[in-house]
Amino acid sequence: MAESVAQQQLARAGATGKRRRRVFKDGKGWLFVGPFLAVFAVTFLAPIGYAIYLSLYRNQAFFGGTVFVGLDNYTQALQDPKFWEAFGRVAVFLVVQVPIMLVLALLAALAIDSARLHAAGFFRIVIFLPYAVPGVVAVLMWGYIYGDNFGLAANLNDLLGTTAIQPLSGTWMLPSIANIVTWEFVGYNMLIFYSALRTVPGELYEAAAIDGAGTFRTILAVKLPALRGAIVIATIFSIIGSFQLFNEPNILRTLAPNVITTYYTPNMYAYNLSFAGQQFNYSATVAIVMGIITAIIAYVVQLRGSRESL
C-alpha cells in the first residue's frame, strides 16, 4: 500500500506528461526543421545520392572507362567473404561490448546523480575526459599500455612471470579494441543519461519519498522510466557506432599491422577500397549495403524502444 501515493503521483505525472507532449498539427514545424534539413541534404544526402550512383557503375583506375553494371556490385558485395568476415566481427563486438558499455554508463550516471557520491563533479568530468583525447596521441598511449616489449603489458608479464598477456595478438585484438571503445565512450553515454536524469520533475522524488521508497525502488520506479528516451538514443547510436567501427582498429593497425587487416571492419574495408585501391564504386556499394543493414536494425530498436514517441 505504501506505493499507492507514488503510483498515483506517477500516474498523474504520466497524464501531465501526455498533456505536455501535445503537439501542434501544422506545417510551421518545417520552419524549425528546414534549416537543419537543408544543410543535411548538402552534407549527407547528396554524397549518399552520389554514392548510390557510383555503386551502379564500375570504373577502372587505369586505362579504363566507366561501365554501367546495374546491381552487379551489390551481388558481389553480398557474396564477398571479406565483407561478411568484417560484418561478423562487428556483430560480435556489438553484442558483447555495447551492453557492457551502456550498463557501466548507466550505473555511473545513476551514481553521480544519486547525491550519495563524494566529489561527484570530479567523477563526472574525469569519466568524460577520455572522449576528448585526440586520436593522434592514442597510438602512443595505447602503444604504451598494450606494448608487450616495453609497455604496461610487458611489466605485467614480468610481474606474473609469464608472456601470456599479448593485447596486440590476433586472439586478444577484439577485446583490446572493445576496451578502448569502452574507455572512451562510457563517459559519453554517461552524460546522455545524466542530463536526462536532470529533467526528472522533483515532485516524483517527493512522492517516492513519501511512500518510503528506498534508493533502488526510486531508481526502478522513477529514474529508469524517465531515462527511456535517452537509453533508446544511446542504444541506437551505439549500434551505429559499432557497425561503423573504424578509428580504434585503425589506431591499433599502426601497432599490429598483420593482425588488423584492411577489411577488419566493414567501414575499414570501404575506406581501404576507396583510399588504397581507388575502387570507389565497390567501396560505395559496401558502404550502402552496410548502411541499409544498420538502418534496419537501428529502426527496429527505435520502434521497440519508443513506440509512443513517433
Q: Which is nearer to another protein, 116 or 304 (CB)?
A: 116
- Closer to another protein by Cβ: residue 97 or 294: 294
Sign, Cα dihedral of 177, 266, 233, 225: negative
| CA-to-CA dists, residue 305 to 227, 234, 250, 310, angstroms | 11, 11, 32, 10
Shortest Cβ 34–another protein spacing (Å): 8
The neighbouring-strand residues paired with 66 are: 59
Residue carrying the nine cell digits 583525447 = 133
CB of 243 to another protein, least distance (A): 7
| Nearest of 167, 192, 199 to residue 180 by alpha carbon | 167
Q: CB of 23: closest distance to another protein in angstroms?
A: 4
Comparing CB distances to another protein, the nearer of 75 and 254 is 254
The least CB distance from residue 188 to another protein, in Å, is: 7
Minimum gap (Å) between residue 223 Cβ and another protein: 10
Task: Look up residue 162 and give its DSSP letter.
Answer: -
Q: First-to-last CA distance in the chain?
A: 35
Please report which helix (H) or strand (E) contains residue 66, including its range.
strand 66-68
Question: Of 8 and 30, which CB lies nearer to another protein in the complex structure?
Answer: 30
Hey, how many other C-beta atoms are within 10 angstroms of the C-beta on 163?
A: 11
CA angle 157, 185, 238 (to 5 degrees): 120
154 contacts: CB under 8 Å, gap ≥ 6 = 147, 148
If the CB atoms of residues 96 and 262 are measured against another protein, the closer one turns out to be 262
CB of 286 to another protein, least distance (A): 7
Nearest residue (CB) to another protein, 84 versus 128:
128
